[in-house]
Structure 1
């Protein structure tokens, strides 16, 4: 006999906003920490390879970008399991069986989606040559990708299990496992890149192999957690893994493809901005990289809140409790926008302090880059609020299983309004890098306004379930 579990973080409707805030914070905190650690994991390969020379550094940078973009897409695709699991827990009916089906089919979707990704990465050298990259850099990056592509399947599986653990009330494991992956990545890079502790000095290829080991370690760690954690093992998530559930498979694809495309549209917007910066000058590219990295670190907080909000709103959606839906969304939006307001104030007040973490702000040779980075950060401070708003608004809408229209909003806002404004102001108006960053801010503002409107018009648009 299967008994539906009800972990503390997936409990009944909160009595007030304070109770909802407490539940959201306990869920979001570990996810935010895991997101920040994941950024460090992604940076380790490049940091170690930087000592091997310019060609290998360029190859690692391109290879890591292609791999991370592919992994990001697959995790976005399979993240549709989060609102489905949350809704099942909210309904409290056959939760064990339904949760297991969602996780199992998310793993199937991830495996199916990995096949074309593996084919693309296996032709990395050809793709980079077609993109006009240096032949030697393309060759080295292709070799890097030939090895690291092995990590696509365990990396995707780890992402799915992380989502499931958070939705089932164990978000702390995401922080622990990502910390483990960071430690393994640092150790294996140190061993395999430079040949320490008796390991062969494999250079660039050693860094790729280190990524394979660290992501496989993540997947194995999550598998062990689901097997031995007293609260999670009752779901028996790997039981009957071969059994198909095509309706659930299609549901994950229906919700997941728009999420994947939304994430790609946003990531590609900032990548496209870097390309535009390259048309202006080297100093602009360097300053853009510094400012964007600072903004990306701050963004991990509302992104983690958005992930938690999807679960909280999803549970309320499954319970068909409209008051709870409203409360969960309201609290998440206030928390996300409020935090970004603090980061905006900090960046606005002390931009040089943030830039000093990346370059020596007092060195004369860095004066131009520092000056440009400070200008871009002034604009970044302005869009911190709207960036937080659009991230959390997208998260609460995902809790309502509303993903297709938000994807279209992202496409229009980021690429028609945002990128179009960057080109217009950066080149036609002659504002250069400031114009490009203004376009980014305008695009984020447009998306945040449209997503917020959709959230507050949810009843009129028919996005709510019938009242229980």
Structure 2
């Protein structure tokens, strides 16, 4: 039996229906900006690893990249599942149900543990799997050395997602930012001393990078858990109370909502992986230009992604309290902010694209001229790509706030693999537009997903998505 209580609101905690559009705009922005910066900082964790492994040499960088490429799909699938904690906690908060908050977070931690236990044995098979894929045996052995240690980061890293979802649902996003930035700094220091053996530490090279990754995630999880257990606003939830007591309905609900999210993420990651493989068939310059354009697009993408997470929380809270007007305002406010920022980044890509790509490769070197020209042309397509990418991520997250994930997953698979990938192949190789054709295919797939998801949110009542919890 649930025990509803009055939950004290934070400063930016008003539901949109109470104070109107301007209040919703301020609340969404206050919730989202730390998440945006935290997402950028999260990217910096991987960037630090890449830079320092690059200092060891191209073989080490290749081995680390292969290992990370193998690990990431598993990890992102787990993130999608455990990320279902966010809308469920937001809905419980909207319903002022303290017991449901505790149970959802506890079962989210259970899900993190179970997923790590299932994934680790699969990830440890990297050597035979890479052997079947024809990867270089020497590089594969080095990649295995990294994976054997790095897989243990799954336990704390997935548990972080459960706690972060709870903090986001209660507008405590600044502490997420502080902990993430602290993790970036610790990761850089740990990489430096463990990879290269400074300050009396042994020189562990690839193993040092893997250990640094595990230690960083353990530190971030410990800091986040300590905050949840000790901070006055959160310790009243007693998230670890009777931790081993099962709550099977909520455990199943996390997987019911989370598995489609994880598959949606895999579908999108798979599309971009396929695009990179297509570029590899075209030549080195195309691959380099694609990497530059993707880096620019992915950095800009962090803004609507942070706004999307905020939309999940705001929509979920309004849904939990039965506030239909709050759902409308929360969803469309995040959509307006996300597409507004992407319109700005689109303008920058279209107007100063050649200048932007020159930050990645030296324009004075003649051998870089072709790659730079290709990157600038890709960035033109990426400008249009920005608009639809921002729209689809905010719409998908707003629908998650309504626990609507299965149909959006089907739309994502259809858009990425039935629309986007065939267009990319046809325009890139059959029509002969090469890299530009591949990027048009990416934009087409994202545009399809954006249109259908935005339409689904707009028609949420007609489609029966607002049924009472």
Structure 1 CA distance for aligned equivalents of residues 8 and 381 of structure 2:
45
Matched, 1:57 2:45: no
Kept in 1: contact 2:312–2:397 (CA 8 A): yes
**Which residue in the other structure is 1:353 paired with?**
355
Q: 1:465 offset after TM fit, Å?
A: 2.7
The residue number in structure 2 matching 1:417 is: 419
SS at match of 1:117: helix
The separation in 1 between residues aligned to 2:131 and 2:152, in whole angstroms, is: 22
Aligned equivalents of 2:99, 2:408: Cα separation in 1: 30
Deviation at 1:249, TM superposition (A): 0.4
Residues paired across the two proteins, number: 465
Query: How far, CA to CA, are the matches of 1:426 and 1:122 in structure 2?
Result: 36
CA distance in 1, matches of 2:393, 2:400: 11
- Structure-2 residue corresponding to 1:283: 285
Residue of structure 2 aligned with 1:42, choices 43, 46, 51:
46
Q: Deviations over 1:64-89 (max 9, x none)?
A: 22223322211111111111111111
Q: Are the equivalent residues in 2 in contact too, given 1:352–1:361 (CA < 8 A)?
A: no
Establish whether residue 250 from structure 1 lines up as the match of residue 252 from structure 2. yes
Could you list the per-position Cα deviations for residues 10-37 of structure 1 after superposition, in whole angstroms to 9, with x for gaps in the alignment?
A: 4444411110011111111111010000
Q: Which residue of 2 aligns with 1:449?
A: 451
- C-alpha separation in 1, matches of 2:314 and 2:382: 29
Q: What is the CA–CA distance in structure 1 between the aligned matches of 2:9 and 2:180, rounded to whole Å?
A: 22
Q: 1:323 aligns with which of 318, 321, 325?
A: 325
TM alignment of 1:4-403, pairs within 5 A: 4-8=6-10, 9-12=12-15, 13-92=17-96, 95-403=97-405
- CA positional deviation for 1:3: 5.0
SS of 2:340's partner is: helix
- For 2:87 and 2:54, locate their aligned partners in 1 and report how far apart those are by CA, in whole Å: 40
Give the 3 Å change call, closer, same or farther, for CA 10–102 of structure 1 in structure 2.
farther
Answer whether contact 1:31 1:171 (CA < 8 A) is retained: yes
SS state at 2:202 partner: coil
Gaps of 5+ in 1: none
Q: 1:251-270 CA deviation, whole Å, 9 max, x = no partner?
A: 00000000001011111111
TM-score by length of 1: 0.97
Q: What secondary structure is seen at the aligned counterpart in 2 of 1:235?
A: coil
Moved over 4 A (4+): 1-4
Aligned partners of 1:7 and 1:231 also within 8 Å = no
With over 3 angstroms needed to count, the CA separation of the structure-2 counterparts of 1:2 and 1:452, relative to structure 1, is: closer
Distance in 1 between the 2:312 and 2:40 partners?
Answer: 19
Cα contact 1:193–1:203 (8 A) shared by 2: yes
SS at match of 2:200: coil
Task: Specify the SS of the correspondent of 1:460.
Answer: coil
How far does the alpha carbon of each residue in 1:325-378 deviate from its partner, in whole angstroms, 9 at most, with x for none?
Answer: 111111111111111000110111111222122211232111011011001000
TM-score using structure 2 length:
0.97
Residues in 1 aligned to 2:220 and 2:148: alpha-carbon distance in whole angstroms: 20
- Paired with 1:2 and 1:414, the residues of 2 have a C-alpha distance of 42
Of 432, 435, 460, which residue of structure 1 is paired with 2:437? Answer: 435
Contact 1:55/1:136, CA 8 A, preserved across alignment: no
Assess if the C-alpha contact under 8 Å between 1:316 and 1:325 holds in 2. yes
* Shift of residue 219, structure 1, vs aligned partner: 0.6
Deviates more, 1:249-258 or 1:122-131: 122-131
Secondary structure, counterpart of 2:463 in structure 1: coil
Partner Cα distance (2:20, 2:225) in 1: 36
Separation in structure 1 between the aligned mates of residue 90 and residue 35 of structure 2, nearest angstrom? 16
Q: Distance in 1 between matches of 2:384 and 2:290?
A: 16
Alpha carbons of structure 1 residues 105 and 433: separation in structure 2 relative to 1, 3 Å: same
> Partners of 1:356 and 1:233 in 2: how far apart?
50
* TM-superposed deviation, 1:4: 4.4
Give distance in 1, aligned partners of 2:182 and 2:132.
37
Contact kept, 8 Å, 1:273 with 1:436, in 2: the verdict is yes
Checking the alignment, whether the CA contact within 8 Å between 1:7 and 1:169 is kept in structure 2 is no
Q: Cα distance 1:440–1:187, how it changes in 2: closer, same or farther (>3 A)? A: same
